[in-house]
């Protein structure tokens, strides 16, 4: 999961290359606030995809109206991956790109660790207790609602806490103690690789925006191909498809950032960017509705760089609407939302199956409402009292002039 962060203060530098790069990258200033709102939308998309276990409750009309779009909700993960590449490039390229420096790379990795690890570690601990209880009720595989059983050994716990649990297997099922937790491991790998990727991106920073946007689409073609009925895409998920997915999406986001930052070279009327973003989003939704099912719907990933670039350049009413306080808070807390929601889905699934048999629709609706409320409250508590405070405390361990 990508964490939207404010751009760092530009420090004066004796390095003329880095200084000129910082000046150059300030020519076009994409609006990160609009992308923060997009994070919340993408998070809700993923949550609704997983909430299909509740589609027989009062949520049924929602799923009836938007079933094709919700059925492709795993694409919300791809939105996050592309956003991650965009924001990390926007924030750190001018610091990491001119030349490789161990200190700068270490500061960057520490900053990302401080953002990701505390909340994730707490959720892993809670799920460990959940599995300790569930092991006496069901098999670990059944209790986790995954096709493969997670590794609950001490080594398995160590892999989870080090956020490397996905690196040791070709598929995502069973890699994490909770299904969507594999993305944390994939993101962590992308962050560790970024200081090297930045060396290449920095030397491409002057790309014409159309060339950069074309590059962002081209690098997405391999991961989009898995949605087509081709020999390479048949037979379900391919080995290490997750690695291709994070590599393609993260790199596409980086090129999208270069396109946005060079947009002034085309004298683009930013007043049209907002309506263009709305049209692009509507086109994606219409395409997913026409596709009707996952698979072909993966082609929609090719539109994500353009959508993100347009949103980052949006002004006027679209920018004002996306700047709404509740959308901004939802975007900032989207990582916590992503981490906690599966636990309440687990609760609903098992309570609905074992305790509410024959209890009628009212009981199922009350349980669903309680779980949704639990997701909202747990998201707020995890973000407000764990994710943010722990991030600041870990960052404080390194002098502020080194990590921003």
Tens place of pLDDT per residue across the chain (404 aa): 544 443 443 333 334 444 444 444 345 678 788 999 999 999 999 999 999 989 989 999 999 999 999 999 999 999 999 999 999 999 999 999 999 999 999 999 999 999 999 999 999 999 889 888 887 778 888 888 888 889 999 999 999 999 999 998 898 999 999 989 999 999 999 999 999 999 999 999 999 999 999 999 999 999 998 756 544 444 456 788 999 999 999 999 999 999 999 998 877 667 788 889 999 999 999 998 887 666 788 899 999 999 999 999 998 899 999 999 999 999 999 999 999 999 999 999 888 887 777 677 899 999 999 999 999 999 999 999 999 999 999 999 887 555 44
Helix (H) or strand (E) holding 35: helix 32-50
CA angle 74/76/82 to nearest 5° reads: 125
Is 168 a domain residue?
A: yes
In a domain, 4, yes or no: no
Question: Helix, strand or coil for residue 341?
Answer: helix
Query: Is position 349 within any domain?
Result: yes
Task: Note down the domain range covering 170.
Answer: 20-396
Do residues 203 and 212 touch, judged by C-beta distance below 8 A?
no
User: Does the residue 2 lie in any domain?
Assistant: no
Single out the residue of 311, 317, 182, 314 nearest to residue 256, CA to CA.
311
In 107-234, which ranges are E strands? none
Task: Please indicate, yes or no, if residue 14 is contained in any of the structural domains.
Answer: no
Q: Classify residue 385: in a domain, yes or no.
A: yes
Residue 197 lies in a domain: yes
**Model-level pTM?**
0.89
DSSP code for 397: T
DSSP string for 249-272? HHHHHHHHHHHHHTGGGGT--GGG
Domain for residue 12, yes or no? no
Q: What is the pLDDT of residue 213?
A: 96
Closest residue by Cα to residue 335 from 281, 285, 378, 393:
378
Give me the number of domains the chain comprises: 1
Please give the pLDDT value at position 226.
Answer: 74
| CA of residue 43 relative to chain centroid, distance | 8
Q: What is the DSSP string of 358-396?
A: TS-HHHHHHHHHHHHHHHHHHHHHHIIIIIHHHHHHHHH
3-state secondary structure of 226: coil
Measured between alpha carbons, how far is 151 from 145 in angstroms, rounded to an integer? 14
């Amino acid at each position: 999961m990508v964490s939207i962060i404010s751009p760092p203060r530009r420090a004066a530098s004796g390095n003329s290359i880095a200084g000129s790069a910082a000046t150059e990258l300030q020519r076009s200033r994409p609006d990160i606030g609009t992308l923060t709102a997009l994070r919340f939308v993408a998070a809700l998309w993923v949550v609704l995809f997983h909430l299909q276990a509740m589609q027989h409750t009062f949520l049924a009309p929602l799923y009836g109206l938007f079933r094709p779009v919700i059925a492709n909700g795993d694409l919300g993960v791809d939105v996050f991956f592309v956003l991650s590449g965009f924001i990390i490039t926007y924030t750190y390229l001018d610091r990491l790109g001119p030349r490789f420096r161990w200190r700068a790379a270490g500061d960057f990795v520490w900053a990302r660790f401080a953002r990701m690890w505390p909340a994730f570690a707490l959720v892993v601990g809670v799920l460990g207790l959940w599995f300790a209880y569930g092991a006496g009720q069901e098999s670990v595989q059944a209790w986790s609602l995954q096709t493969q059983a997670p590794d609950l050994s001490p080594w398995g716990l160590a892999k989870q806490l080090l956020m490397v649990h996905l690196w040791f297997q070709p598929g995502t099922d069973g890699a994490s103690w909770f299904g969507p937790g594999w993305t944390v491991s994939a993101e962590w790998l992308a962050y560790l690789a970024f200081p090297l990727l930045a060396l290449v991106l920095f030397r491409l920073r002057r790309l014409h925006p159309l060339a950069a946007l074309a590059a962002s689409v081209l690098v997405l073609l391999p991961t989009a191909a898995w949605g087509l009925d081709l020999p390479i895409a048949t037979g379900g998920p391919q080995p290490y498809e997750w690695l291709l997915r994070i590599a393609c999406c993260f790199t596409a986001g980086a090129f999208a950032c270069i396109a946005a930052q060079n947009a002034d070279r085309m004298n683009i009327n930013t007043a049209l960017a907002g309506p263009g973003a709305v049209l692009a989003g509507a086109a994606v939704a219409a395409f997913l509705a026409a596709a009707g099912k996952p698979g072909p719907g993966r082609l929609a990933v090719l539109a994500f760089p353009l959508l993100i670039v347009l949103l980052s350049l949006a002004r006027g009413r679209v920018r004002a609407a996306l700047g709404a306080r509740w959308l901004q808070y939802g975007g900032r807390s989207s990582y916590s939302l992503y981490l906690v929601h599966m636990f309440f889905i687990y609760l609903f699934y098992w309570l609905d199956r074992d305790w509410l048999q024959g209890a009628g629709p009212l009981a199922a609706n009350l349980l669903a409402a309680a779980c949704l409320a639990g997701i909202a409250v747990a998201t707020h508590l995890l973000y407000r009292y764990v994710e943010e405070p722990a991030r600041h405390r870990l960052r404080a361990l390194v002098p502020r002039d080194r990590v921003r």
